[in-house]
Amino acid sequence: MTSLWKKIAAALEFVKFSHTIFALPFALIAMLVAARGLPSWRVLGLILLCMVSARTAAMAFNRLADWDWDKLNPRTANRSRLVTPGTAKAMVLVSLALFAVGSWLLNPLCTALCPVAILLVLGYSVTKRFTAYCHLFLGLALGAAPIGAWAAVTGSLATPAPWLLMLGVLAWVFGFDLIYATMDAEFDRKAGLHSFPSRYGIPAALRLATVLHGAAWVFFLLFGLAAHLGWLWLAAMVGVAVALVLEQKWSRSSDVGKINAAFFQINAVVSLLLLSSALLSLWNRF
């Protein structure tokens, strides 16, 4: 049993399962608002299945695509020691199968969107071969989460609310991935990989991240207004503004620890703060 748990822990670390906190809260926000409370347990379970399986497939595929480069990068060298390539391939295939089945069980719109979602979550991993704007594609992949959750509940995307949330997530992820990519700018240049910091420089990447996080804040605010989430959402937006300003400040530090904190800790606060405010706003409807 000890050996089994170690293998499970290694697999979870391989796909950075803890980073699910970036996309999952926004899928849950979209779900709660679309249902004006909690949907059925069946729909909730299928949304969670699709979210976790899609992200696991995306991360395992990303590790496979970057296997040789990750072994050369001191920051990522340990990844290839966590699981074998065969295990990683199995994780991709099983996760994609679970995602497809979950989409099919939800409704016809989710079934139709399934191939598009798979293309988005897997496609990000190859964009760094040819464009400095690979971070935009990561934003698109994570931004699809609230769109998928809204479609799962309503079977329709005819209202502006999910699109506003999607744009907010896209800009937010684009911005914080630019910050994270500054740590690999020199390695990317030497390896011939594309990223915004490696092509345009770290100062330009940080300036763009600031603009994007400002845009993200505006889209999150507009979503709250469109979804009629009230004063609790507006109060949360004050906290989000403080968090994003702090993230921008820490991202300009030469301390890798502070950059990591800006990436993970502050962004976790942003997503959980917005999820909590949506939950409280809709509490009386549960």
Q: Count of residues for the chain?
A: 286
- Residue 283, C-beta contacts closer than 8 angstroms, at least 6 positions apart: none
State residue 74's pLDDT score. Answer: 66
pLDDT digits (tens, 9 = 90+) for 164-184: 999 999 999 999 899 888 888
Q: Quick one: tokens of 228?
A: 């009629």
Using the CB atoms, write b or e for 42-79: b if 16+ within 10 Å: ebbebbbbbbbbbbbbbbbbbbebbeebbeebeeeeeb
Question: How far apart are alpha carbons 202 and 181 in whole angstroms?
Answer: 9
DSSP 3-state of 159 = coil
The single-letter code of the amino acid at 84 is T
Closest CA to 117 of 135, 140, 94: 140
Q: Are 33 and 161 in contact (CB under 8 A)?
A: yes
State residue 4's pLDDT score. Answer: 58
- Residue 176, C-beta contacts closer than 8 angstroms, at least 6 positions apart: 209, 213, 247, 262, 263, 267
State residue 15's pLDDT score. Answer: 62
Q: Quick one: tokens of 187?
A: 């390695």
Q: Quick one: tokens of 134?
A: 């690979």
Element (H, E) at 96: helix 85-106
Question: How far apart are alpha carbons 25 and 137 in whole angstroms?
Answer: 20
Half-sphere exposure of 270 (CA within 13 A, CB side): 28
Question: How far apart are alpha carbons 87 and 110 in whole angstroms?
Answer: 28
pLDDT, the chain, mean: 87
Three-class SS string for 161-178? HHHHHHHHHHHHHHHHHH
Enter the CATH code of domain 20-285. Answer: 1.10.357.140
pLDDT digits (tens, 9 = 90+) for 141-162: 999 999 999 999 999 999 999 9
Burial class of 84 by CB neighbour count within 10 A (0 to 12, 13 to 18, 19+): exposed
pLDDT digits (tens, 9 = 90+) for 191-202: 788 889 999 999
Residue tagged 């679970």 (tokens): 98
Find the DSSP H helices in 107-133.
108-127
**Domain spans of the chain, in order of start:** 20-285
Give φ, ψ of 58 to 5 degrees.
-60, -45
pLDDT digits (tens, 9 = 90+) for 7-39: 666 666 666 666 666 678 999 999 999 999 899
Residue tagged 């979804």 (tokens): 227
* More confidently predicted of 4 and 158: 158
The single-letter code of the amino acid at 146 is P
